[in-house]
Protein backbone atom coordinates (compact mmCIF):
# COMPACT_ATOMS: atom_id res chain seq x y z
CA UNK A 1 0.00 0.00 0.00
CA UNK A 2 1.55 3.29 -1.15
CA UNK A 3 0.92 6.10 1.35
CA UNK A 4 1.04 9.63 0.00
CA UNK A 5 0.64 13.00 1.71
CA UNK A 6 -0.70 15.84 -0.41
CA UNK A 7 -0.05 19.19 1.25
CA UNK A 8 -2.79 21.67 0.33
CA UNK A 9 -6.47 20.96 -0.30
CA UNK A 10 -7.11 23.50 -3.06
CA UNK A 11 -7.82 22.46 -6.64
CA UNK A 12 -4.28 21.26 -7.37
CA UNK A 13 -4.16 19.17 -4.15
CA UNK A 14 -7.58 17.66 -4.79
CA UNK A 15 -6.82 16.91 -8.45
CA UNK A 16 -3.55 15.28 -7.40
CA UNK A 17 -5.32 13.12 -4.79
CA UNK A 18 -7.97 12.22 -7.35
CA UNK A 19 -5.39 11.27 -9.97
CA UNK A 20 -3.54 9.06 -7.50
CA UNK A 21 -6.51 7.07 -6.21
CA UNK A 22 -8.12 6.76 -9.64
CA UNK A 23 -4.98 5.52 -11.35
CA UNK A 24 -3.79 3.14 -8.66
CA UNK A 25 -6.08 1.10 -6.40
CA UNK A 26 -3.27 0.52 -3.90
CA UNK A 27 -2.71 4.19 -3.02
CA UNK A 28 -3.96 5.89 0.13
CA UNK A 29 -3.78 9.67 0.30
CA UNK A 30 -3.87 12.06 3.24
CA UNK A 31 -4.70 15.58 2.10
CA UNK A 32 -3.18 17.93 4.66
CA UNK A 33 -4.14 21.59 5.06
CA UNK A 34 -3.00 24.17 7.57
CA UNK A 35 -6.61 25.41 7.78
CA UNK A 36 -9.41 23.34 9.30
CA UNK A 37 -11.31 24.00 6.06
CA UNK A 38 -10.61 22.43 2.67
CA UNK A 39 -10.69 23.79 -0.92
CA UNK A 40 -7.94 26.45 -0.78
CA UNK A 41 -8.58 29.34 -3.17
CA UNK A 42 -11.97 27.93 -4.20
CA UNK A 43 -13.13 28.76 -0.66
CA UNK A 44 -10.78 31.67 0.06
CA UNK A 45 -10.12 33.23 -3.34
CA UNK A 46 -13.04 32.78 -5.72
CA UNK A 47 -15.28 35.82 -5.28
CA UNK A 48 -18.43 35.20 -3.19
CA UNK A 49 -20.70 36.31 -6.04
CA UNK A 50 -19.20 33.70 -8.38
CA UNK A 51 -21.51 30.94 -7.18
CA UNK A 52 -21.01 28.79 -10.26
CA UNK A 53 -17.22 28.61 -9.82
CA UNK A 54 -17.70 28.12 -6.06
CA UNK A 55 -19.90 25.12 -6.80
CA UNK A 56 -16.70 23.39 -7.91
CA UNK A 57 -16.39 22.63 -4.21
CA UNK A 58 -18.85 19.80 -4.84
CA UNK A 59 -16.38 18.12 -7.21
CA UNK A 60 -13.50 18.64 -4.78
CA UNK A 61 -15.67 17.31 -1.95
CA UNK A 62 -16.21 14.02 -3.75
CA UNK A 63 -12.41 13.62 -3.95
CA UNK A 64 -11.95 14.31 -0.24
CA UNK A 65 -14.76 11.88 0.59
CA UNK A 66 -13.20 9.07 -1.49
CA UNK A 67 -12.72 5.94 0.62
CA UNK A 68 -8.93 6.04 0.17
CA UNK A 69 -8.55 9.78 0.74
CA UNK A 70 -8.47 11.34 4.21
CA UNK A 71 -8.61 15.07 5.05
CA UNK A 72 -6.25 16.22 7.83
CA UNK A 73 -7.02 19.88 8.48
CA UNK A 74 -5.35 22.27 10.89
CA UNK A 75 -1.90 20.76 10.25
CA UNK A 76 0.82 23.26 9.41
CA UNK A 77 3.82 21.92 7.48
CA UNK A 78 7.03 23.94 7.88
CA UNK A 79 7.35 27.31 9.61
CA UNK A 80 7.28 28.07 13.34
CA UNK A 81 5.47 25.32 15.23
CA UNK A 82 4.81 23.45 12.00
CA UNK A 83 5.61 19.84 11.21
CA UNK A 84 9.05 19.90 9.54
CA UNK A 85 9.04 18.83 5.88
CA UNK A 86 11.73 16.24 6.66
CA UNK A 87 9.52 14.67 9.36
CA UNK A 88 6.51 14.58 7.03
CA UNK A 89 8.66 12.78 4.47
CA UNK A 90 9.41 10.07 7.07
CA UNK A 91 5.71 9.47 7.66
CA UNK A 92 4.81 8.81 4.01
CA UNK A 93 6.27 7.08 0.97
CA UNK A 94 5.82 10.33 -0.95
CA UNK A 95 4.77 13.93 -0.31
CA UNK A 96 3.22 16.20 -2.96
CA UNK A 97 3.32 19.93 -2.18
CA UNK A 98 0.30 21.75 -3.62
CA UNK A 99 0.67 24.84 -1.46
CA UNK A 100 -0.12 27.48 -4.11
CA UNK A 101 1.26 30.99 -4.11
CA UNK A 102 0.67 32.40 -0.66
CA UNK A 103 1.58 36.03 -1.07
CA UNK A 104 1.26 38.96 -3.45
CA UNK A 105 3.79 40.57 -5.73
CA UNK A 106 5.03 44.02 -4.73
CA UNK A 107 5.02 47.15 -6.85
CA UNK A 108 8.32 48.35 -5.36
CA UNK A 109 7.38 52.04 -5.52
CA UNK A 110 7.38 54.78 -2.85
CA UNK A 111 4.26 55.01 -0.72
CA UNK A 112 3.24 51.40 -1.33
CA UNK A 113 2.73 50.81 2.40
CA UNK A 114 0.71 53.94 3.16
CA UNK A 115 -2.49 53.35 5.11
CA UNK A 116 -5.27 52.70 2.61
CA UNK A 117 -2.95 50.82 0.22
CA UNK A 118 -3.50 47.07 0.37
CA UNK A 119 -2.72 44.08 -1.74
CA UNK A 120 -5.76 42.63 -3.48
CA UNK A 121 -4.91 39.42 -1.62
CA UNK A 122 -5.53 41.14 1.73
CA UNK A 123 -8.86 42.50 0.53
CA UNK A 124 -9.92 39.16 -0.99
CA UNK A 125 -8.93 37.31 2.21
CA UNK A 126 -11.06 39.72 4.24
CA UNK A 127 -14.23 39.35 2.21
CA UNK A 128 -13.62 35.59 1.88
CA UNK A 129 -13.47 35.23 5.70
CA UNK A 130 -9.94 33.82 5.74
CA UNK A 131 -9.12 33.33 9.43
CA UNK A 132 -5.75 35.10 9.03
CA UNK A 133 -7.33 38.17 7.42
CA UNK A 134 -7.52 41.45 9.26
CA UNK A 135 -10.39 43.89 9.09
CA UNK A 136 -8.30 46.87 8.07
CA UNK A 137 -11.19 49.27 7.60
CA UNK A 138 -10.60 49.06 3.84
CA UNK A 139 -13.55 51.26 2.89
CA UNK A 140 -13.33 53.81 5.69
CA UNK A 141 -13.79 57.38 4.34
CA UNK A 142 -13.17 56.21 0.77
CA UNK A 143 -15.22 57.54 -2.13
CA UNK A 144 -12.68 56.73 -4.84
CA UNK A 145 -10.57 53.59 -5.28
CA UNK A 146 -7.69 52.66 -7.57
CA UNK A 147 -7.15 49.03 -8.50
CA UNK A 148 -3.68 48.55 -9.99
CA UNK A 149 -3.51 45.74 -12.55
CA UNK A 150 -5.88 44.36 -15.18
CA UNK A 151 -6.00 40.63 -14.43
CA UNK A 152 -8.99 38.59 -13.22
CA UNK A 153 -8.25 39.31 -9.57
CA UNK A 154 -8.41 43.05 -10.36
CA UNK A 155 -11.79 42.44 -12.02
CA UNK A 156 -12.98 40.47 -8.95
CA UNK A 157 -12.10 43.20 -6.43
CA UNK A 158 -13.45 45.93 -8.73
CA UNK A 159 -16.74 44.06 -9.05
CA UNK A 160 -16.99 43.47 -5.31
CA UNK A 161 -16.42 47.19 -4.70
CA UNK A 162 -19.24 48.01 -7.10
CA UNK A 163 -21.81 45.54 -5.78
CA UNK A 164 -24.63 46.67 -3.52
CA UNK A 165 -26.21 45.01 -0.48
CA UNK A 166 -29.02 43.37 -2.47
CA UNK A 167 -26.54 41.46 -4.61
CA UNK A 168 -24.14 40.68 -1.78
CA UNK A 169 -26.46 39.41 0.93
CA UNK A 170 -27.35 36.10 -0.81
CA UNK A 171 -23.61 35.22 -0.87
CA UNK A 172 -21.58 33.62 1.93
CA UNK A 173 -19.80 36.91 2.75
CA UNK A 174 -18.95 37.15 6.44
CA UNK A 175 -21.25 39.49 8.35
CA UNK A 176 -18.66 42.28 8.93
CA UNK A 177 -17.66 42.42 5.25
CA UNK A 178 -21.32 42.50 4.16
CA UNK A 179 -21.99 45.43 6.50
CA UNK A 180 -18.91 47.35 5.33
CA UNK A 181 -19.42 46.73 1.61
CA UNK A 182 -23.13 47.55 1.84
CA UNK A 183 -22.33 50.87 3.52
CA UNK A 184 -19.52 51.69 1.05
CA UNK A 185 -19.49 55.23 -0.36
CA UNK A 186 -17.02 54.34 -3.13
CA UNK A 187 -18.51 55.66 -6.36
CA UNK A 188 -15.40 55.94 -8.56
CA UNK A 189 -13.33 52.81 -9.16
CA UNK A 190 -10.33 53.17 -11.45
CA UNK A 191 -8.90 49.88 -12.72
CA UNK A 192 -5.57 50.64 -14.31
CA UNK A 193 -3.26 48.73 -16.68
CA UNK A 194 0.33 49.68 -17.39
CA UNK A 195 0.09 48.29 -20.94
CA UNK A 196 -2.65 48.47 -23.56
CA UNK A 197 -6.16 47.01 -23.77
CA UNK A 198 -5.03 44.23 -26.08
CA UNK A 199 -2.49 43.11 -23.45
CA UNK A 200 -4.86 43.01 -20.49
CA UNK A 201 -4.88 39.67 -18.65
CA UNK A 202 -8.56 39.49 -17.73
CA UNK A 203 -10.83 37.04 -19.56
CA UNK A 204 -13.78 38.33 -21.59
CA UNK A 205 -16.44 36.58 -19.52
CA UNK A 206 -15.15 38.28 -16.37
CA UNK A 207 -14.75 41.63 -18.16
CA UNK A 208 -18.32 41.57 -19.48
CA UNK A 209 -19.69 41.07 -15.98
CA UNK A 210 -18.54 44.59 -15.09
CA UNK A 211 -20.94 45.96 -17.68
CA UNK A 212 -23.88 44.11 -16.15
CA UNK A 213 -23.59 45.46 -12.60
CA UNK A 214 -26.75 47.23 -11.41
CA UNK A 215 -26.34 50.98 -10.79
CA UNK A 216 -22.85 51.01 -12.31
CA UNK A 217 -21.47 52.09 -15.65
CA UNK A 218 -18.15 51.26 -17.21
CA UNK A 219 -16.24 54.17 -18.68
CA UNK A 220 -13.50 53.62 -21.27
CA UNK A 221 -11.58 56.52 -22.81
CA UNK A 222 -11.56 56.15 -26.63
CA UNK A 223 -8.25 58.06 -26.76
CA UNK A 224 -6.58 55.41 -24.60
CA UNK A 225 -7.88 52.65 -26.85
CA UNK A 226 -6.53 54.57 -29.85
CA UNK A 227 -3.03 54.44 -28.30
CA UNK A 228 -3.03 50.67 -28.82
CA UNK A 229 -2.44 49.91 -32.52
CA UNK A 230 -4.10 46.50 -32.09
CA UNK A 231 -7.40 48.16 -31.11
CA UNK A 232 -7.81 49.86 -34.47
CA UNK A 233 -7.89 46.48 -36.18
CA UNK A 234 -8.31 43.68 -33.63
CA UNK A 235 -8.86 41.04 -36.35
CA UNK A 236 -5.24 39.88 -36.13
CA UNK A 237 -5.34 39.40 -32.35
CA UNK A 238 -5.74 35.97 -30.72
CA UNK A 239 -9.44 35.29 -30.04
CA UNK A 240 -9.34 36.00 -26.30
CA UNK A 241 -7.71 39.43 -26.71
CA UNK A 242 -9.87 40.27 -29.71
CA UNK A 243 -13.04 39.67 -27.70
CA UNK A 244 -11.70 41.86 -24.87
CA UNK A 245 -10.98 44.68 -27.30
CA UNK A 246 -14.45 44.37 -28.85
CA UNK A 247 -16.10 44.68 -25.42
CA UNK A 248 -13.91 47.69 -24.53
CA UNK A 249 -14.61 49.40 -27.85
CA UNK A 250 -18.36 49.04 -27.33
CA UNK A 251 -18.06 50.66 -23.90
CA UNK A 252 -15.90 53.46 -25.27
CA UNK A 253 -18.57 54.25 -27.87
CA UNK A 254 -21.55 54.06 -25.47
CA UNK A 255 -23.13 57.33 -24.29
CA UNK A 256 -22.89 58.08 -20.52
CA UNK A 257 -25.70 56.50 -18.45
CA UNK A 258 -25.41 58.76 -15.41
CA UNK A 259 -25.22 55.72 -13.08
CA UNK A 260 -24.51 56.19 -9.38
CA UNK A 261 -21.17 54.35 -9.62
CA UNK A 262 -18.50 54.36 -12.32
CA UNK A 263 -15.81 51.81 -13.12
CA UNK A 264 -13.15 53.60 -15.14
CA UNK A 265 -10.96 51.21 -17.10
CA UNK A 266 -7.66 52.96 -17.78
CA UNK A 267 -4.67 51.87 -19.85
CA UNK A 268 -1.06 52.85 -20.55
CA UNK A 269 -0.55 54.16 -17.02
CA UNK A 270 2.35 52.83 -14.94
CA UNK A 271 2.20 53.43 -11.17
CA UNK A 272 5.28 55.33 -9.96
CA UNK A 273 4.30 56.55 -6.48
CA UNK A 274 1.49 56.51 -3.94
CA UNK A 275 0.96 60.02 -2.58
CA UNK A 276 -0.03 60.48 1.07
CA UNK A 277 -2.20 63.07 2.76
CA UNK A 278 -1.73 64.45 6.28
CA UNK A 279 -2.10 61.55 8.70
CA UNK A 280 -0.24 59.15 6.43
CA UNK A 281 -3.23 57.87 4.48
CA UNK A 282 -3.02 57.45 0.74
CA UNK A 283 -4.63 60.29 -1.21
CA UNK A 284 -3.71 59.55 -4.82
CA UNK A 285 -1.69 57.32 -7.12
CA UNK A 286 0.81 58.97 -9.45
CA UNK A 287 1.03 57.21 -12.82
CA UNK A 288 3.40 57.79 -15.68
CA UNK A 289 1.73 57.72 -19.09
CA UNK A 290 3.28 54.94 -21.18
CA UNK A 291 3.39 54.26 -24.90
CA UNK A 292 3.61 50.92 -26.74
CA UNK A 293 7.16 49.96 -27.74
CA UNK A 294 6.03 47.80 -30.67
CA UNK A 295 7.25 44.58 -28.98
CA UNK A 296 4.38 44.04 -26.55
CA UNK A 297 5.93 46.23 -23.86
CA UNK A 298 5.72 49.92 -23.05
CA UNK A 299 8.08 52.83 -22.50
CA UNK A 300 7.63 55.83 -20.21
CA UNK A 301 6.74 59.18 -21.74
CA UNK A 302 7.75 61.46 -18.86
CA UNK A 303 4.14 62.66 -18.55
CA UNK A 304 2.33 62.00 -15.27
CA UNK A 305 -1.23 61.81 -14.00
CA UNK A 306 -2.41 61.72 -10.38
CA UNK A 307 -5.59 59.72 -9.75
CA UNK A 308 -7.20 60.54 -6.38
CA UNK A 309 -8.00 57.52 -4.18
CA UNK A 310 -8.29 56.82 -0.47
CA UNK A 311 -8.30 53.11 -1.19
CA UNK A 312 -5.65 51.47 -3.38
CA UNK A 313 -5.75 47.75 -4.13
CA UNK A 314 -2.56 46.42 -5.71
CA UNK A 315 -3.63 43.51 -7.89
CA UNK A 316 -0.44 42.65 -9.71
CA UNK A 317 -0.32 38.90 -9.25
CA UNK A 318 0.41 36.31 -6.58
CA UNK A 319 3.81 34.97 -5.61
CA UNK A 320 4.89 31.64 -4.10
CA UNK A 321 6.67 31.68 -0.75
CA UNK A 322 9.51 29.38 0.35
CA UNK A 323 8.52 26.44 2.52
CA UNK A 324 11.10 25.49 5.18
CA UNK A 325 12.98 22.40 4.11
CA UNK A 326 12.08 22.64 0.41
CA UNK A 327 14.23 24.19 -2.32
CA UNK A 328 12.92 27.45 -3.78
CA UNK A 329 13.68 29.48 -6.87
CA UNK A 330 13.43 33.08 -5.74
CA UNK A 331 13.31 34.44 -9.28
CA UNK A 332 10.11 32.58 -10.19
CA UNK A 333 8.62 32.03 -6.72
CA UNK A 334 8.35 28.30 -7.43
CA UNK A 335 9.95 25.02 -6.32
CA UNK A 336 12.41 23.70 -8.92
CA UNK A 337 11.14 20.45 -10.40
CA UNK A 338 11.32 18.08 -13.33
CA UNK A 339 7.87 16.84 -14.42
CA UNK A 340 6.68 17.45 -10.87
CA UNK A 341 9.66 15.79 -9.13
CA UNK A 342 11.32 18.23 -6.72
CA UNK A 343 14.93 19.02 -7.63
CA UNK A 344 17.52 19.63 -4.93
CA UNK A 345 20.67 21.14 -6.40
CA UNK A 346 19.54 19.91 -9.80
CA UNK A 347 19.05 16.31 -8.61
CA UNK A 348 15.67 14.61 -8.17
CA UNK A 349 14.76 14.40 -4.45
CA UNK A 350 13.31 10.97 -3.75
CA UNK A 351 9.62 11.00 -2.79
CA UNK A 352 9.05 14.78 -3.03
CA UNK A 353 6.75 16.32 -5.64
CA UNK A 354 4.95 19.55 -6.49
CA UNK A 355 1.78 20.47 -8.38
CA UNK A 356 -0.20 23.65 -8.98
CA UNK A 357 1.00 27.23 -8.58
CA UNK A 358 4.05 26.33 -6.46
CA UNK A 359 5.14 24.19 -9.42
CA UNK A 360 4.34 26.39 -12.40
CA UNK A 361 3.67 29.87 -10.98
CA UNK A 362 0.37 31.72 -10.38
CA UNK A 363 -1.21 31.45 -13.81
CA UNK A 364 -4.19 29.80 -15.44
CA UNK A 365 -7.73 29.06 -14.33
CA UNK A 366 -8.80 26.33 -11.91
CA UNK A 367 -8.99 23.72 -14.68
CA UNK A 368 -5.34 24.35 -15.60
CA UNK A 369 -4.47 22.45 -12.44
CA UNK A 370 -5.83 19.21 -13.86
CA UNK A 371 -3.14 18.53 -16.50
CA UNK A 372 -0.54 19.95 -14.10
CA UNK A 373 -1.57 17.44 -11.40
CA UNK A 374 -1.76 14.65 -13.98
CA UNK A 375 1.89 15.11 -14.91
CA UNK A 376 2.97 14.99 -11.26
CA UNK A 377 0.82 11.92 -10.55
CA UNK A 378 2.38 10.12 -13.54
CA UNK A 379 5.89 10.86 -12.21
CA UNK A 380 5.00 9.72 -8.71
CA UNK A 381 3.37 6.49 -9.83
CA UNK A 382 6.36 5.73 -12.07
CA UNK A 383 8.59 6.09 -8.99
CA UNK A 384 6.18 4.15 -6.75
CA UNK A 385 7.81 0.66 -6.97
CA UNK A 386 10.98 2.03 -5.33
CA UNK A 387 9.19 4.37 -2.90
CA UNK A 388 6.83 1.74 -1.51
CA UNK A 389 9.76 -0.31 -0.22
CA UNK A 390 10.57 2.38 2.37
CA UNK A 391 9.25 1.66 5.88
CA UNK A 392 6.57 4.12 7.08
CA UNK A 393 4.48 4.11 10.26
CA UNK A 394 1.30 2.05 10.00
CA UNK A 395 -0.74 4.62 11.90
CA UNK A 396 0.08 8.13 10.73
CA UNK A 397 -2.55 9.73 12.97
CA UNK A 398 -0.91 8.24 16.05
CA UNK A 399 2.50 9.42 14.81
CA UNK A 400 1.15 12.95 14.24
CA UNK A 401 -0.48 13.02 17.66
CA UNK A 402 2.84 11.96 19.18
CA UNK A 403 4.30 15.10 17.57
CA UNK A 404 1.60 17.18 19.29
CA UNK A 405 -0.43 17.60 16.10
CA UNK A 406 -4.20 17.07 16.42
CA UNK A 407 -5.72 17.22 12.95
CA UNK A 408 -9.26 18.34 12.18
CA UNK A 409 -10.77 15.32 10.44
CA UNK A 410 -13.52 15.40 7.80
CA UNK A 411 -16.19 15.18 10.52
CA UNK A 412 -14.72 18.38 12.00
CA UNK A 413 -15.03 20.15 8.65
CA UNK A 414 -18.62 18.93 8.28
CA UNK A 415 -19.32 20.42 11.72
CA UNK A 416 -17.90 23.76 10.48
CA UNK A 417 -20.20 23.57 7.47
CA UNK A 418 -23.17 22.96 9.76
CA UNK A 419 -22.19 25.90 11.96
CA UNK A 420 -21.97 28.17 8.89
CA UNK A 421 -25.44 27.06 7.75
CA UNK A 422 -26.80 27.71 11.26
CA UNK A 423 -25.19 31.15 11.38
CA UNK A 424 -26.70 31.99 8.00
CA UNK A 425 -30.15 30.85 9.14
CA UNK A 426 -29.86 32.94 12.32
CA UNK A 427 -28.99 36.01 10.20
CA UNK A 428 -31.78 35.38 7.71
CA UNK A 429 -29.27 34.55 4.99
CA UNK A 430 -28.07 31.29 3.46
CA UNK A 431 -24.62 29.99 4.48
CA UNK A 432 -22.45 32.64 6.18
CA UNK A 433 -18.76 31.90 6.65
CA UNK A 434 -17.11 31.82 10.08
CA UNK A 435 -14.34 34.44 9.88
CA UNK A 436 -11.86 33.55 12.65
CA UNK A 437 -9.77 30.74 14.04
CA UNK A 438 -11.62 30.60 17.33
CA UNK A 439 -15.07 30.06 15.83
CA UNK A 440 -13.73 27.57 13.26
CA UNK A 441 -11.97 25.53 15.95
CA UNK A 442 -14.97 25.67 18.26
CA UNK A 443 -17.26 24.47 15.47
CA UNK A 444 -14.85 21.67 14.52
CA UNK A 445 -14.75 20.48 18.14
CA UNK A 446 -18.50 19.93 18.14
CA UNK A 447 -17.87 17.01 15.76
CA UNK A 448 -16.57 14.95 18.63
CA UNK A 449 -19.31 16.10 21.03
P1 LIG B 1 -2.40 38.25 -13.59
O2 LIG B 1 -3.43 37.64 -14.45
O3 LIG B 1 -1.00 37.82 -13.72
O4 LIG B 1 -2.52 39.84 -13.76
C5 LIG B 1 -1.62 40.70 -13.10
C6 LIG B 1 -1.81 42.12 -13.61
O7 LIG B 1 -0.92 42.96 -12.87
C8 LIG B 1 -1.45 42.31 -15.08
O9 LIG B 1 -2.33 43.27 -15.62
C10 LIG B 1 -0.03 42.88 -15.00
O11 LIG B 1 0.33 43.68 -16.09
C12 LIG B 1 -0.16 43.74 -13.77
N13 LIG B 1 1.14 44.08 -13.19
C14 LIG B 1 2.12 43.23 -12.80
N15 LIG B 1 3.14 43.93 -12.28
C16 LIG B 1 2.79 45.25 -12.33
C17 LIG B 1 3.42 46.45 -11.93
N18 LIG B 1 4.62 46.44 -11.34
N19 LIG B 1 2.76 47.62 -12.13
C20 LIG B 1 1.54 47.63 -12.71
N21 LIG B 1 0.89 46.52 -13.11
C22 LIG B 1 1.51 45.33 -12.91
O23 LIG B 1 -2.73 37.98 -12.02
P24 LIG B 1 -4.08 37.87 -11.18
O25 LIG B 1 -5.11 38.81 -11.64
O26 LIG B 1 -3.61 37.95 -9.76
O27 LIG B 1 -4.60 36.40 -11.48
C28 LIG B 1 -3.81 35.24 -11.16
C29 LIG B 1 -4.38 34.03 -11.89
O30 LIG B 1 -5.64 33.67 -11.31
C31 LIG B 1 -4.64 34.30 -13.35
O32 LIG B 1 -4.31 33.18 -14.10
C33 LIG B 1 -6.14 34.56 -13.39
O34 LIG B 1 -6.76 34.33 -14.63
C35 LIG B 1 -6.63 33.60 -12.32
N36 LIG B 1 -7.93 34.04 -11.81
C37 LIG B 1 -9.04 33.62 -12.49
C38 LIG B 1 -10.29 34.05 -12.09
C39 LIG B 1 -11.50 33.61 -12.86
O40 LIG B 1 -11.38 32.76 -13.73
N41 LIG B 1 -12.68 34.15 -12.62
C42 LIG B 1 -10.45 34.91 -10.99
C43 LIG B 1 -9.31 35.34 -10.33
C44 LIG B 1 -8.05 34.88 -10.75
P45 LIG B 1 1.34 43.12 -17.22
O46 LIG B 1 0.51 42.20 -18.06
O47 LIG B 1 1.78 44.36 -17.91
O48 LIG B 1 2.46 42.40 -16.50
Mean pLDDT of 322-328: 96
Residue 113's closest CA among 131, 129, 136?
Answer: 136
Does the beta carbon of 317 sit less than 6 angstroms from any atom of ligand 1? yes
148 lines ligand 1 (CB under 6 A): yes
Residue of minimum CA distance from atom 13 in ligand 1: 316
Looking up residue 55, the CATH number of its domain turns out to be 3.40.50.720
Read off the pLDDT of residues 199-249 as tens digits, 9 standing for 90 and up: 999 999 999 999 999 999 999 999 999 999 999 889 999 999 999 999 999
- CA atoms of 125 and 139, how far apart (whole Å): 15
pTM (predicted TM-score): 0.96
For 34, 65, 97, the CA distances from 327, given in Å and listed in that order, are 20, 32, 12
Same domain, yes or no, for 170 and 280?
A: yes
Residue where a domain terminates, one of 317, 351, 376: 317
Give yes or no: residues 230 and 363 share one domain: no
Q: Is the Cβ atom of 100 under 6 angstroms away from ligand 1? A: no
**pLDDT tens string 393-427:** 999 999 999 989 999 999 999 999 999 999 999 99
318 alpha carbon to ligand 1 midpoint, in Å?
8
Give me the helix-helix angle, 437-445 and 410-426, nearest 10°: 110
Q: Do residues 149 and 70 lie in contact, with contact meaning Cβ atoms separated by under 8 Å?
A: no
Q: Tell me, yes or no, whether 282 and 310 share the same domain.
A: yes
Q: Which residues contact 74 (CB under 8 A, 6 or more apart)?
A: 33, 34, 35, 36, 406, 407, 408, 412, 441, 444
Sorted by sequence, the CB contacts under 8 Å of residue 309 that are 6+ apart come out as 116, 142, 144, 145, 146, 190, 282, 283, 284, 285
Closest CA to 197 of 187, 207, 186, 188: 207
Q: How far apart are CA 110 and CA 276, in angstroms?
A: 10
Instruction: Tell me what pLDDT residue 278 has.
Output: 86
**448 in any annotated domain:** no
Q: Could you tell me if residue 430 is inside a domain?
A: no
Q: Which domain, by its residues, includes 160?
A: 105-317
Q: What is the pLDDT of residue 403?
A: 87
Q: Answer whether 383 contacts ligand 1 (Cβ < 6 A).
A: no
Output the CA 31–ligand 1 centroid distance in Å: 28
- Contact by Cβ (8 Å): 326, 88: no
Judge whether 436 lies within some domain: no
Residue where a domain terminates, one of 294, 317, 340 = 317
- C-alpha 378 to ligand 1 mean position (Å): 30
Atom of ligand 1 nearest to the CA of 316: 7
Specify whether 350 is located in the same domain as 371: yes
Q: Which of 293, 317, 341 is the last residue of a domain?
A: 317
- The arithmetic mean of pLDDT across residues 289-309, rounded, is 96
Q: Is 293 exposed, middle or buried (0-12, 13-18, 19+ CB in 10 A)?
A: exposed
- Given a contact cutoff of 8 angstroms between Cβ atoms, the answer to whether 162 and 422 are in contact is no
Query: Does the beta carbon of 153 lie inside 6 Å of ligand 1?
Result: yes
Does residue 268 belong to any structural domain of this protein?
A: yes
Closest atom, ligand 1, to C-alpha of 105: 15
Kindly give, in sequence order, each residue whose CB lies less than 8 Å from that of residue 250, ignoring residues fewer than 6 positions away.
none
Same domain, 112 and 245: yes
CATH, residue 267: 3.50.50.60
Q: What is the number of domains present in the chain?
A: 2
Amino acid sequence: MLRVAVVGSGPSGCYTAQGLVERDASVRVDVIDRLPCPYGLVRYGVAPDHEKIKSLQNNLRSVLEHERVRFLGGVRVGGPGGLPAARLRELYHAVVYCVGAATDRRLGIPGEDLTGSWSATEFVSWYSAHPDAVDAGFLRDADSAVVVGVGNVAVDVTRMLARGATELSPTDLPAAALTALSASRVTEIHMVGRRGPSQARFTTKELRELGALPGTEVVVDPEELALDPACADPAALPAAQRRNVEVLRAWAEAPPKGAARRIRLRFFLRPVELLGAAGGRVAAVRFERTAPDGRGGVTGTGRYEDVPARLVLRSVGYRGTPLDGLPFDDATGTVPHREGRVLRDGEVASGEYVAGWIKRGPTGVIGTNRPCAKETVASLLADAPALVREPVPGDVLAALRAEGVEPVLWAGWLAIERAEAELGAALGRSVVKLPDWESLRAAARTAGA
